[in-house]
Amino acid sequence: MNKWFELGFGLVLLIGTILIAWASSAYTWTLFGRDFNFLHSAWIFFKGGIFWFVIMVSLLLIMLGINDLRE
């Protein structure tokens, strides 16, 4: 693929998702009684990612510490 096409398409997708997330949080998007607030769900997903990243780093440090104790 052309590098300029990839760059432009990536920017269009990024701006589109930001606009959709903003619009879904600024206005009420409901379907069959369900609320579609994409910004809120993205924030929860991000917080979960941070939680699992901290857990994995702590497990890595514990394993490295145990390995150092064996030597």
Where in the chain are the domains?
A: 3-70
| Sign of torsion over alpha carbons 13, 16, 20, 26 | positive
H or E stretch at 34: strand 34-35
Instruction: Tell me what pLDDT residue 35 has.
Output: 74
Instruction: Tell me what pLDDT residue 24 has.
Output: 81
For every residue of 37-57, DSSP letters joined together read -HHHHHHHHHHHHHHHHHHHH
What is the pTM for the complete model shown? 0.61
User: What is the pLDDT tens value at each position of the chain, 71 positions in all?
Assistant: 688 888 888 899 989 988 888 888 777 777 777 777 888 888 899 999 999 999 999 999 999 888 888 87
- Furthest CA-CA distance within the chain: 62
H or E stretch at 31: strand 30-31
